A and B are shown apart, each in its own frame.
Chain A
């Protein structure tokens, strides 16, 4: 199975900060990488697919990049509604696998 490693596992940031989360795959996954946002007690929300493509309705302050094994999710200016846990997921190879999550907290 492909292992997905996210870092950091948690971070504290202020409104307006630029935040970057990294995700590393244990082998090449091309650009078959998605990002999800989850708030406590809620279902995940799909943010990005194919490494950098935003789903409809996702604010442009979210961006993704990367190819192969190293990927990043960037929030250019953190907003109050962005405090949540973020997960990366590869879909290059079965089984689909997720990173362990990054909890973005208010500083």
Chain B
């Protein structure tokens, strides 16, 4: 079945550091891929998405590229801020499937 494997956390970085959170997936065909972010005490909100191979999703300085050859969708940001502290979830939705499959989440803490 479909699955998402995410980098284990927690991750702690200093402000202005470079961020990478790894995400790989297993699915048949060409799924849609998502990164969701959850700020403390809140629900999940969509950060970015990509629906086909080689697409790059971007938002708020975050980027992720849909890599079919490596079945990956790694999240990157060039210079993190304290306000980026949150839990990040990678997710996929297979074609013809109305459900999302989530990774276990990566807690990110940015220290000033």
Do A and B originate from a single complex? no
Q: Which residues of A contact B (CB under 8 A)?
A: none
